[in-house]
Amino acid sequence: MKPFIAIAALALALATDVLAQAPATRKPAAPKPVAADAPAKAEAPAKDAPAAEPDADAPEAPEPATDPNERTVDVFLREVAEAANGDVAMGQLAMERGASDGVKDFGKRVRANDTAVLVILGRLAEARGGKVPSGTAQADDESMARLGALQGEAFDKAYMSLMAERHATLQSLFRWQYEHCTDEAVKPFVLGTIPAVASHARLSDELNKRVNAEEIKAAEEQAAEERRLAAQKAAEEAAGVASDPKKKRKFTPKK
């Protein structure tokens, strides 16, 4: 019961801040009033009127966009379990190979919290007639191999860059479930765990900006330079079209 108590205490401590940021449920828009002089219904077409043919040139209706965070409950729980297994393993590596105390403490915190999450997931899976996956996703196996070859400052940079990306993604998955999950057994798990997930996302982003400050600055400068060059090229091409007589001929009427 200790892991469950730990995650519950963490959830209670962070629930107010996180749930306050959750988007409010939108009320459906009120129907527009109908003008008093509007006809009750459209006039029926004449019996001998030809049926309207579909416009062949009309663009096809776009397919409805799907949310990349959309998951069935079972897929969501499996992915969370695999991510937790990966976080536990990589958190252990951070404790052993990290250079800064901040990175080591973050790894320790994530390892402890995700261990507790796995205990709760085990109970959920058992109630649903299944079991929690004990392995990790292939991407995490590759990340573990890459991190296992690093040490010290190089490890900190690679680990925090990965953590910032993965926990931002995980937070999005939890937020989607927070807004859409209707499973009465899974909903409490989402509500109780999302504060810890949000905390991990915030801390990993802060640490990543600290240990990878130079790399992030260089990437931002490169992106800004690429935007400048693209704008300059577009301006030059526009000026060339305007000044080239072959591309912009004047109309001369025949005599």
The domain segmentation of the chain, as residue ranges, is 73-216
Average pLDDT, the chain: 79
Distance in angstroms (rounded) separating the CA atoms of residues 13 and 9: 6
Segment 109-135 shows an average pLDDT of: 92
d(CA 237, CA 219): 27
Tell me 36's DSSP state. T
Mark 20-48 as b/e (b = at least 16 C-beta within 10 Å): eeeeeeeeeeeeeeeeeeeeeeeeeeeee
pLDDT at 94 (0 to 100): 97
Distance CA 171, CA 126 (A): 25
End-to-end CA distance of the chain: 98
Residue 50 has pLDDT above 90, yes or no: no
Does the pLDDT at position 161 exceed 70?
yes
Q: Residue 216 phi/psi, 5° resolution? A: -65, -40
3-state secondary structure of 63: coil
Residues in the chain: 255
CA 35/CA 38 separation, integer angstroms: 5
Do 97 and 152 form a contact (C-beta atoms < 8 A)? yes
Over residues 27-41, the mean pLDDT reads: 41
Helix 2-21 crosses helix 187-211 at what angle (to 10 degrees)?
80
Task: Report whether pLDDT(38) > 60.
Answer: no
Question: What class has domain 73-216?
Answer: mainly alpha
Q: What is the mean pLDDT of residues 235-243?
A: 80
The predicted model gives 49-54 an average pLDDT of 50
Q: Residue 189: is it exposed, middle or buried by C-beta count within 10 angstroms (0-12/13-18/19+)?
A: buried
pLDDT at 83: 95
The b/e string for 51-60 (b: 16+ C-beta within 10 A; e otherwise) is eeeeeeeeee
Q: How confident is the model at residue 130, as a pLDDT?
A: 84
pTM: predicted TM-score of the whole model, two decimal places: 0.66
For residue 102, name the pLDDT band (cuts at 50, 70, 90): very high
